[in-house]
Amino acid sequence: MDTNTTEISRNVVEAYIEALSSGRIDDAKAMFAEDATWTLGGDLPMSGTWHGRKGIFEDFLGLAFGRLDATTVALNTTNLVAVGDTVVVEWTSDATARDGGHYHQQCAGFFIVRDGLIAAVREYFDTDHARRVLFAA
């Protein structure tokens, strides 16, 4: 396995996480390829495959963070493993929902890095919890 590719991939994903956690959205957005994809399974309003920087940041993440008080969002990486162009990350997301409920999510994501940019993400989390806290009628 090419250790240089692994190190580049790890550094890109760690920099993305740090930028997003610090609220530097433009910096986080710049770490994605123009044609990147983000896929979330399930049947939530935010489930599906989102395409491009605009689709990922404005539509997908915009929908997710729009349900939360942005000043309360705390992301914590609990595990990160990189091999070649693939980085697997486990993290927790804590925040206060717009209606005052507590959102605590345990997430996992597979990040694919190509040419120094994030090309694809496949994310997994408890969609039932998200539905109850973020998308309840």
CA torsion, points 112, 66, 135, 16, in degrees to nearest 10? Answer: 20
Distance between CA atoms of residues 124 and 107, nearest Å: 6
Q: What pLDDT does residue 92 have?
A: 96
Distance between CA atoms of residues 76 and 55, nearest Å: 24
Q: What pLDDT does residue 2 have?
A: 73
Divide the 137 residues of the chain into consecutive groups of 10 and give the mean pLDDT of each group: 89 95 92 98 93 94 85 92 98 92 95 98 95 84
Q: What pLDDT does residue 22 have?
A: 87
